[in-house]
Amino acid sequence: MRNEWHRRSDSRDDRPVYRRKALPQGQVRGLFLLPQPLIVATREALVSFALAGINDGGHEGIAYWAGREFADCTVFLQAIVPEAEHSHGHVAVSREGIGRTQRAARGIHLGILCQIHSHPGSDARHSDGDDELVLLPFENMLSIVAPSFGRGFDGLGDVCVHQYQSGRWVLCTAESVIQRIIVVPTVTDLRVRFEDPDG
């Protein structure tokens, strides 16, 4: 199925996102911790939306990261995939869907702290519409956009990270994303490994 998807190239995918308003750039504010498996789970969710619309050339997808905010950092712990209306160039979650997502997070003592959605093409900046897509944004909330329906979302260098700062969305610089959003590996093995001379 993946090969069929790649053959269905669409010139719509090569266009830049629609923006009439300026998209300011800035630094990530705060410190965020993100387990590596959360990226994998999120990529799988975004790609599942794309595959649901394979006959249309792929559909945009959406997910949320739930976690906890502490005085010195924010920790993401779970991806929640909502019921959404989706098409090749659009994805939206109703207010009722947002409510179900929030209740799912609260049910395990977490809050919705980040939205992730995909774009069809290579431009992963917020469009004007994306600025309004996030319902109830709050100061320092993150909004991440993955290009190419999320297929290549292997790390934070593959996406655009936006943050809600002083009542507007800001595109965060790649340097600040690397410094302020720490991807935590599942295991760090510090044992010294010796090679077996007979093996």
The model's pTM is 0.87
Helix or strand or coil: residue 78? Answer: strand
Measure the CA–CA gap between 50 and 114, rounded to whole angstroms.
20
Task: Give pLDDT, residue 52.
Answer: 87
Cα–Cα distances (Å) from 49 to 83, 84, 118, 181, 198, in that order, read: 10, 9, 9, 26, 50
Name the CATH architecture for the domain at 21-184: 3-Layer(aba) Sandwich (3.40)
Task: Give pLDDT, residue 73.
Answer: 97
Task: Give pLDDT, residue 12.
Answer: 54
Task: Give pLDDT, residue 153.
Answer: 96
Task: Give pLDDT, residue 54.
Answer: 86
Task: Give pLDDT, residue 26.
Answer: 97
User: 42-60: per-residue pLDDT in tens?
Assistant: 999 999 999 988 888 889 8
Measure the CA–CA gap between 89 and 14, rounded to whole angstroms.
12
Task: Give pLDDT, residue 199.
Answer: 61
Helix or strand or coil: residue 12? Answer: helix
Instruction: Annotate 57-124 with DSSP letters as a single string.
Output: T----EEEEEEEE-SS-EEEEEEE----EEETTEEE--HHHHHHHHHHHHTTT-EEEEEEEE-SSS--
- For the chain, which residues make up each domain, given as ranges? 21-184
Q: Which DSSP symbol is given to 193?
A: P
Averaged in consecutive runs of 10 residues, what is the pLDDT profile of the chain (199 residues)?
34 70 95 97 95 87 96 97 89 92 98 95 90 87 95 96 96 97 95 74
Alpha helices in the chain (DSSP H): 2-7, 36-52, 95-106, 128-133, 174-180
